[in-house]
Amino acid sequence: MPDFTQKHLPQSEIVDWMAEELYPHEGDSIRKKRVRARINDARKRVVNNQGKKELAKAAMIKGIPYLHVQTFFEWACLKKGWEALKTIPGLPAINAKVEVAGVAATGEVGNVYEASDKDARIKDLEAKIKQLEEWKQKCVAGKKRASEAGKLGGRPKTSSR
Per-residue model confidence as pLDDT tens digits over 61-113: 888 888 888 888 888 888 888 887 887 777 775 655 555 566 566 655 555 55
* Residue 107 is assigned to a structural domain of this protein: no
Q: Residue 86 has what pLDDT?
A: 80
* Residue 12 is assigned to a structural domain of this protein: yes
Cα separation, 11 vs 19, in Å, equals 12
Residues with Cβ within 8 Å of 36's Cβ and at least 6 positions away in sequence, in order, are: 15
Tens of pLDDT, residue by residue over 8-43, are: 888 888 888 888 888 888 887 888 888 888 888 888
* Residue 16 is assigned to a structural domain of this protein: yes
* Residue 49 is assigned to a structural domain of this protein: yes
Residues with Cβ within 8 Å of 143's Cβ and at least 6 positions away in sequence, in order, are: none
Spatial contact of 92 and 73, defined as CB atoms under 8 Å apart: yes
Mean pLDDT, residues 116-134 taken together: 82
Query: What total number of domains does the chain contain?
Result: 1
* Residue 101 is assigned to a structural domain of this protein: no
SS3 call for 50: coil
The parent domain of residue 46 ranges over: 8-95
* Residue 122 is assigned to a structural domain of this protein: no
Instruction: Provide the angle, in degrees to the nearest 10, between the axes of the packed helices 69-76 and 11-22.
Output: 30
Query: Poorest-confidence range of 55-59, 76-80, 113-117, 124-128?
Result: 113-117
Q: For residue 30, which amino acid is it? A: I
